[in-house]
Structure 1
């Protein structure tokens, strides 16, 4: 039972091979139907039988020529009927698919090719007419000779013809006979055509999970090239992401090692007998190392969040968000003796669409950096404005600034300029750039108008 169920499931499972076979069968059926329909339409419009003037002339001659006996004359007409059936149908004069010939002279019916056919008589000579007899429609054409002999040729009408084709197997017969002979070549051709796909599938299947190199398989077939190219592009992206993550982990471990080592050194020093002043100094070092480690972990979390997929964007006023964050950072600025100033136009609110948490990280990192590097009594000015279809955020400080040759490198993770007086993780600007790029914007560094650093951010408006 389980084996039978497995076979049934296998048959019901979607298959490209079965689908392509079905498409080929349908195409053959549609092609045969179209050809048959074309033949029927052509026959409906201009039947060849009605335009064969020679047939009528022969019938006239056989009827009107002297004959030794009426039986001989009828025998000649019977031979004509057989020839007519053989030329324009399946050769059987008794079928409803065969044309019928009537011969009349002086109002008498001399000959009818199918004894079971109904009597048909045109109302006009030389005109194809549709006649009804015994519930069937016929198309008939009668011609009259100078001697008064009337010869009528009749064919079943289109609908009757189509019914005959369906019931007698003229439509299904060729399909039923030919399709079994077509399935095997079609299956073989499709099986051979899919061989490159199987090679590609095999290479992917046996590949090790750690192998992110491009595929060795180089298809010569045009249909496979986009797929292989897309897979190689995906592998390259995954490889780059994996390499960035490995580098990030290695750099994070290296950066975390310094404050952790300082914590251990100061903790071990506290175990030794010390006077109160030395103990307080070591405790202060412990706290500073702990703060540095805590800040490092917080920055790492922010960076990971900024690299993660964004939540659903929401519309917000940029100046309001900046104002809220500067209120939070005011205590830090006051502690360092730095003044904060925010400039924006209340009459022209700057609305952007984005992830609030990511934008909060952006503002916090830029303003915190500006506060940290500004001297006591310094000024950090933040400006929010519109520039065409872009929102502009500028943060200006009164610190030492950044030399032009370092302005691109400082966006790298954990990068710090040598001989910096301020401690830090080297992640602030990296977090800021990641947040800006996720919102489709740009960030750049410039000299301030009166010294210091000017950070300019552009993001699209809602």
Structure 2
């Protein structure tokens, strides 16, 4: 597993190294420019000094050479003493005098000014001074290799102290990163000490940069707690809802077995039939809820008109048992439109229609209306039942909530399934009273 601290350390160290190298190159370049300027000025000054000594004091040329050639003090105390080479030439090309370290050939062939020339395998930087009044040409030069060595010594003299500090800088970066990442380690330590059942919010104090991660973890813990509660409630309610009809089935089976007359037996068998229907619907809804929660849906889109027809087929038997009339009204322009996730939509609409059928009185009517709505469309299920009481509207989509005036026929899952399916499809689920009586349940698709 890669380490954030190690990665940041290497990145910062690399960035520091790049800055360091860039600074070294800049120092070398600027030092080279300044050094060449200073040494060129020295050559010009030395040439003028040789000419002035000969002129003002009347010194012999050899004496003037010895006075001008050292140029840098220190004798043999350092490598850069006595590095200047001086030559004096007559204008006719006759060599008049030269310093002891000067080559035999002329240092420059340029009549006047600065020039570079290779003599006897050594490249010289030369300044030539022309004195026409006295008929002489003074050449003063130093080797470029000496200049390069001087430059390297100066740069290294500047860089060595900085290089010596580099390990201390690396240690400082490492310790700073370790301290900066300490809040993450504290969060990790708190998480590692927790048991699987501990989903309480993290209490570790965190700096501003780490706080969003801690808040996200706490939000995740909250969602996991809610999901676990739903699972526990689901198990408890499912067991309870299945236990009641199964107990009724057992009792009515005993009644039918021991019935003293056909009327009693027929009544018991009718009760068994109703209990089986209720159990079948509950199991069906539990399977629907599991499918919706897991996001199960058809992979291929289907036409909206076909989806509406499928819903009618799936709910026709329940409508016949309750004596309710079903009607499908699909707008012609909407019918051929394809709908993604048709499985979720069929599940949602079937549960809405079944709820409407169970809420309707015998001889009532339930309409499934499919209409365009701006750039999107809507599906409405309209019934003529008693509607949803105001006291139940805020909780009617909770799982296993059947309302304050429930008749005991439903399981409290239908509208919860619809809301979950609508959320997965990106639709809005709206319930509103119908005038003069009944309810309108709408699934609104924005696009």
State the TM-score, normalized to the length of structure 1. Answer: 0.77
Q: In structure 1, the residue corresponding to 2:195 is in which secondary structure?
A: coil
1:104 to 87, 96, 105: 87
* Match 2:329 to one of 321, 343, 347: 343
- Cα pair distance change 1:181/1:75, threshold 3 Å: farther
What CA distance in whole angstroms lies between the structure 2 residues aligned with 1:249 and 1:134?
101
Cα separation, partners in 2 of 1:303 and 1:182, compared to 1, 3 Å: same
Structure 1 SS opposite 2:34: coil
Displacement, 1:210?
A: 0.9
Residues 24-423 of structure 1 aligned to structure 2 (within 5 Å):
24-43=12-31, 46-50=33-37, 55-56=42-43, 58-64=45-51, 65=53, 76-77=67-68, 79-81=70-72, 92-93=79-80, 101-106=84-89, 108=95, 110-111=98-99, 121=108, 123=110, 125-126=112-113, 140=125, 142=127, 144=129, 146=131, 148-152=137-141, 155=144, 177-219=164-206, 221-269=207-255, 272=258, 274-309=260-295, 314-349=300-335, 351=337, 353-421=339-407, 423=409
Change (3 A) 1:141 1:72: closer
User: In structure 2, how many angstroms separate the alpha carbons of the residues matched to 1:393 and 1:182?
Assistant: 68
Contact 2:48 2:129 in 1 (8 A): no
Structure-2 change in CA distance of 1:297 and 1:72 (3 Å): farther
User: Contact (CA 8 Å) 2:324, 2:365: kept in 1 or not?
Assistant: yes
SS for the counterpart of 1:423 is coil
Superimposed CA distance per residue, residues 116-142 of structure 1 (whole angstroms, 9 cap, x where no aligned partner) = xx9864747556x67778999x79573
- Corresponding position: 1:460 with 2:443: no
1:390-442 Cα offsets, whole Å, 9 max, x none, are: 22111112222223443332212122234445711111111111111111111
* TM-score scaled by length of structure 2: 0.80
**Structure 1 131/440 Cα, relative in aligned 2: closer, same or farther at 3 Å?**
farther
Give the 3 Å change call, closer, same or farther, for CA 419–232 of structure 1 in structure 2.
closer
Change (3 A) 1:334 1:243: closer
Segments of 5+ residues of structure 2 without an aligned counterpart are: none
Relative distance call for 1:81 and 1:290 in structure 2 (3 A) is same
Secondary structure of residue in 2 paired with 1:444: strand
Deviation at 1:323, TM superposition (A): 1.9
Distance 2:286 2:305 in 1: 27
Q: 1:281 to 1:330 in 2, by over 3 A?
A: closer
The structural deviation recorded for 1:388 is: 1.7
Residues 42, 428 of structure 1: CA spacing in aligned structure 2 closer, same or farther, 3 A cutoff? Answer: same
Indicate how the Cα distance of structure 1 residues 446 and 348 shifts in structure 2: closer, same or farther if over 3 A, else same. Answer: same
| Partner SS state of residue 177, structure 2 | helix
Report how far residue 215 of structure 1 moved. 0.8
Range 147-156 or range 331-340, more displaced? 147-156
Q: Secondary structure at the match of 1:409?
A: coil
Matched, 1:22 2:10: yes
CA distance in 2, matches of 1:287, 1:242: 35
* 1:216–1:393 distance in 2 versus 1, CA, 3 Å: same
